[in-house]
Structure 1
Amino acid sequence: MKSCLIVDDSKVIRMVAKKILQELDFETEEAEDGRGALEICKDHLPTAVLLDWNMPIMSGIEFLRELRALPGGNEPVVVFCTTENDIDHIQEAIQAGANEYIMKPFDSEILQSKFAQVGLIGE
C-alpha cells in the first residue's frame, strides 16, 4: 500500500491531511517537525511526503535536503504544502528536490489533483 508522511507542526493541518489521504487509500504517518520526519525516513521511506516549510527544530527545506541525501532518499515524492508562495521559495524547494508545491489552505480537490499530477494516484 502507498504511504504518506505528513510533516507539519500544526496538529489541525496533519488531521485534515490525514483524513484526505486516507480517503485516497494512503497509509499515513505524522511528524511535527523535520527532525522527527527524518528519523521516520531513516527507519523506512514513505511513498510520499506532504511537507510544511516553517517548523521548529528543523524546517521543511532542511528536512528535504537531508532526505535527498539518504540512501534511496530520491524515491519519495515530496509535495510542499506551505504558506510561502513567493517565487524564491518555490524555486528553492524545486532545486532542493521537491516534486510539487501547494499552498495552504488546501482542500481534498487540490491535494488529489497534485498527487495525480505526480503519478501517485489516478485522475
Structure 2
Amino acid sequence: MQRLIIADGSDIVRKVGKRILSELNFDVLEAPSARDALRACQTELPQVMIIDAGLEGAIDLITNVRAMPEGKEVKIYYCVVEADLKTMMAGKRAGASDFLQKPFDRKILTKIFSDNPIAA
C-alpha cells in the first residue's frame, strides 16, 4: 500500500481527500500544517504528497522533503486554487512534481490516482 500525506489547513479537505484516496488503496496521513507534514516525513517518507499552496510554509516543506535522502522520489502535488503562474512557478522551483487544482472531488482524484503508475 502506497503512503500518502495530505498537508492542508482545512479539516474538510483533508478528511474528504483521505476518504477518497483510502478507497484507492492509499495509506493516507493528514497533516494540518507544514510542520506536522515534515515531522511525518522524517518518521517515514511517503511515496506521494498533496501540499496546499495556501499552507503556511508549503514551499519550505517541498524544499525540505526534496533535501531528504530518497526525497527526490516522492511525487509531490502542489495544490492550487487557481492556475496562478507565479504560485505554480514557486512550487515548481521548490520541487513540486505536478499540480492539483482545488477544489478536487472523487472524479478528479480517481482519474489522477487510478491512472497513475504510483497508485498501482
Structure 2 segments unaligned to the other structure (5+ residues): none
Structure 1 segments unaligned to the other structure (5+ residues): none
The farther-off stretch of 80-89 and 26-35 is: 80-89
**Comparing both chains, which one has the higher relative contact order based on Cα–Cα distances under 8 Å and sequence gaps of 6 or more?**
2
Amino acid paired to 2:79 = C
Taking only aligned residues, the RMSD between alpha carbons, in angstroms, comes to 1.6
Write 1 or 2 for the structure with the bigger share of helix.
2
Q: What corresponds to 1:52 in structure 2?
A: 52
Q: Secondary structure at the match of 2:40?
A: helix
The aligned length equals 120
Q: What corresponds to 2:111 in structure 1?
A: 113
The farther-off stretch of 109-118 and 27-36 is: 109-118
Report the Cα distance in structure 1 between the residues aligned to 2:114 and 2:52, rounded to whole angstroms.
19
Structure 1 runs, 4 residues or longer, greater than 2 Å off: 112-119
Report the Cα distance in structure 1 between the residues aligned to 2:64 and 2:22, rounded to whole angstroms.
26
Q: What corresponds to 1:63 in structure 2?
A: 61
Given that residues 81 and 101 in structure 1 are in contact (C-alpha distance below 8 angstroms), is that contact kept between their aligned partners in structure 2?
yes
Please report the TM-score for the alignment, with normalisation by the length of structure 1. 0.88
Please report the TM-score for the alignment, with normalisation by the length of structure 2. 0.90
| Identity across the alignment (%) | 33
Report the Cα distance in structure 2 between the residues aligned to 1:61 and 1:117, rounded to whole angstroms.
27
